[in-house]
Amino acid sequence: MTKLRCDRTILRVERRSITKDSSLIVYDADRIVEPDYRLFEPEYWRQQGGLAGAAIGRGSAWFLETPFGSAVLRECLRGGFPARINRDRYFFTGWDKTRPVAEFRILEQLSGEGLPVPEPLAALARRRGLFYTGSLLTRKISGALPLADLMVEKSERPRLWRRTGRCIRRFHDRGVVHADLNARNILVDLEDRIFLIDFDRARIAPGREDAYQRNMQRLKRSFQKLWPRAIAGRMQPCWEDLMAGYRDGGTA
């Protein structure tokens, strides 16, 4: 049992794990009563009528309706050139170092501290000889869409861009280094609240200003790549608003 502080509320997360058949499942026992490998199989949820949709990108994601609420199931997959050689296998060096388990634990820590991230539900690492595959199950953020899909709609909303910058600054002030900060890994909900997702390979490294700046450079490159041509002239003002919020800090 771990206790994590979130502003004025103590979040009680009963984390448990089971190891069977060269596999490990780490899960939130307050929400998942009977952990099973089937929880990580899209076909199982399809048969149960709980498969609500999918978003296929670098990491395949399925949207689920489950007995423990709306959830997102994501496989650990490589992107780019490495994916041509090996899409889903990683070298095994210990359970704690597997990517889904590490991501579960950093999400557990950050959500417990009140940072806007998906709440972790369960992680699976399945060993196969020298390698392993993995999946992560998180709570779905209701009504949220990627910032990349809202650029046209939100391009005249300077407060939103400043709020986005302030949100990112909160993570950097906490020492969080996101491994792939881009406009698709920033979500905006129906109330214009900002969340960060996809903490695969993220780490907590206080004081690493060089790493935080690389985060921001990567984010700007994603803006340049994804920004709609129809509103090309709005990109720089929106980016400047975002950076103004980042410099100001505060809460998002």
- Active-site amino acid positions: 180
Gap between the Cα atoms of 151 and 33, Å rounded: 40
Which distant-in-sequence residues (6+ apart) come within 8 Å of 43 by Cβ?
none
Question: What angle (nearest 5°) sits at the alpha carbon of residue 208, between those of residues 203 and 211?
Answer: 70
197 neighbors 147 (Cβ within 8 angstroms): no
Gap between the Cα atoms of 190 and 40, Å rounded: 28
What is the secondary structure of 147-196 as a DSSP string? Answer: GGGSHHHHTT-HHHHHHHHHHHHHHHHHTEE-SS--TTSEEE-TT--EEE
Helix (H, G, I), strand (E, B) or coil at 240: helix
The torsion region of residue 208 among left (phi > 0), alpha (psi -120 to 50) and beta comes to beta
Gap between the Cα atoms of 128 and 83, Å rounded: 18
155 neighbors 234 (Cβ within 8 angstroms): yes
Torsional sign, CA 222, 225, 229, 233: positive
